[in-house]
Structure 1
Amino acid sequence: MPLYRDHAIVLRTHKLGEADRIVTMLTRDHGKVRAVAKGVRRTTSRIGSRMEPFMLVDVQLYEGRNLDIVSQVEMREPYARRIAEDYALFTAATAMVETTDTIVAQEKEPARENYRLLHGALGTLSRKEHDAGLVLDSFLLRALAIAGYAPSFDVCATCGAKGPHRAFAVSGGGATCENCRAPGSAAPAPETFSLLAALLTGDWATSDASDARHRREAAGLVAAYVQFHLERQVRSLGHVDRGGSEGP
């Protein structure tokens, strides 16, 4: 069986038999990979703690017919250990890996932008550099942009007219002018539009200075936008702890 090695972020795991797990990973060079990690549920396993969601590892695998086989694992960043200590971080990270697993649908297809985005977001969470809710919403907007669903916040998503605009259409791609405004469009505060644009572009000075009510409004719009364009519910979003999103 061909042998290969890669950096990987563990997305999720499932029990297999009495002692094994099926591990779904996003790798740097081989895209999404599903592999069997044998014996990792035994207390004597030396790699079991390394093959947990959010961990960044250097993994060696054998290619299999249906599932690859994990043969060696070395820790690179113990993100899971730091994130698991804080419920807000944990719920945000869970939503990130679920979204990534959904967006990167094809296995063994390169997804380097998704890998870099998730790597950076988990690292930011683990170091507590910004509010967890803001990091999550920034991640979600950027993940959608990589997938081809980047929302517009400064020009009309329908006709291209320059803003600022007052309406936001989840199904229409973002901000819309009065002429293009569809029934049922949201009407976010101007500050919420500014926050959403900042989250998409990585303007953390603006994001960190945002008010709690605008963070809540932005979070609701991001969640609706993500689930509409992915055409499925991201279940972990319903459990995200927004308690830390109080703003200045």
Structure 2
Amino acid sequence: MSRNSFAVRTYRDDAVVLRTHKLGEADRIITLLTRNHGQIRAVAKGVRRTSSKFGARLEPFMVADLQLVSGRSLDIVTQAVSKGSYGGKIAADYDRYTVAAVMTETAERLTDVDGEAATAQYLLLVGALASLSRGDHAPGLILDSYLLRALATGGWAPSFTDCARCGATGPHSAFSAALGGAVCHACRPPGSPSPAAETMELLAALLSGQWAAADVSAPQHRREAAGLVAVYLQWHLERTVRSLKHLERA
């Protein structure tokens, strides 16, 4: 059998749709985060036609079992079986939609170069989208928990108790995104913010998945935590997350 034959180039994988854009009159280019093959870009032919059998399964935030054929620059989607129909419920609510957009943009940024942690990032993103679609917690809390965990998975785990620079036992009253989170008085860079103790506790709860504590947090601490997460995210990604500007923080 030829190494370039259709059968040899065919593979299957679970994937979450990060984003799509139009190609020609009926096709789409889809950016996917797969469970086993990292981030890929593929063409879904004919999915914009009303007669398409799997067009709805390849919308943003959907999770599907895909069959693909490897191509020179873009792979081709030949089959899609739904595994997580999260897109409809998320798209129907503006807060959930904007939160999901930040999640998928972040996942795309974190996996476009480093494919080693792609499986862990895939599982983290799918879990967050599922929780968001079910309304398990406030959308903003789900987002900040996801962002902190995604960054930790990518190698930028923040500290919210001991000093991120010297390791001095905390808690500490200052925060530095550049140094990795909480910092003691001796390590604190000039101008570093001093979050409320409750905000730092909330951040630690979101990172570790202590939802009982996070769900009863006060609005002012959620707002302060969200601002620190956004700064930490964009510092370590070294670029702006464009979808953050669409978030409406209560």
TM-score bracket, shorter-length normalisation? over 0.9
Q: How does 1:152-167 map to 2 (within 5 A)?
A: 152-167=159-174
Letter in 1 for 2:130: G
Counterpart pick for 1:101 among 108, 111, 116:
108
Counterpart pick for 1:236 among 222, 243, 246:
243
> 1:62 is matched with which residue?
69
Report which structure shows greater RCO (CA 8 Å, sep ≥6): 1
Q: How far off its partner does 1:107 sit?
A: 8.2
From the superposition, tell whether residues 107 and 39 of structure 1 become closer, same or farther in structure 2 (CA, over 3 Å). farther
Q: Is the 8 A contact 2:26 2:48 kept in 1?
A: yes
Letter in 2 for 1:46: K
Q: How far off its partner does 1:50 sit?
A: 1.0
Letter in 1 for 2:51: T
Deviations along 1:127-154, one digit per CA (max 9) or x if unpaired, are 0000000000000000100111111111
Counterpart Cα distance in 2 of 1:108 and 1:115: 11
Deviations along 1:156-208, one digit per CA (max 9) or x if unpaired, are 01110011100001111111101111111010000000000000000001100
> 2:194 is matched with which residue?
187
SS in 2 for 1:195: helix
Counterpart Cα distance in 2 of 1:51 and 1:108: 22
SS in 1 for 2:103: helix
Could you tell me the TM-score, scaled by structure 1's length? 0.95
> 1:174 is matched with which residue?
181
Q: Does 1:8 align with 2:27?
A: no
State the Cα RMSD in Å.
Answer: 1.2
Deviations along 1:55-78, one digit per CA (max 9) or x if unpaired, are 011110001111101001111111
> 1:124 is matched with which residue?
131
Q: Is the 8 A contact 1:87 1:241 kept in 2?
A: no
Structure 1 stretches of 4+ with a deviation exceeding 2 A read: 106-110
SS in 2 for 1:152: coil
Deviates more, 1:45-54 or 1:192-201: 45-54
SS in 2 for 1:53: coil
From the superposition, tell whether residues 9 and 171 of structure 1 become closer, same or farther in structure 2 (CA, over 3 Å). same
Sequence identity, in percent?
59
Letter in 1 for 2:209: G
Structure 2 unmatched runs, 5+: 1-5
Structure 1 unmatched runs, 5+: 244-248
Q: Is the 8 A contact 1:33 1:108 kept in 2?
A: no
Q: How far off its partner does 1:230 sit?
A: 0.2
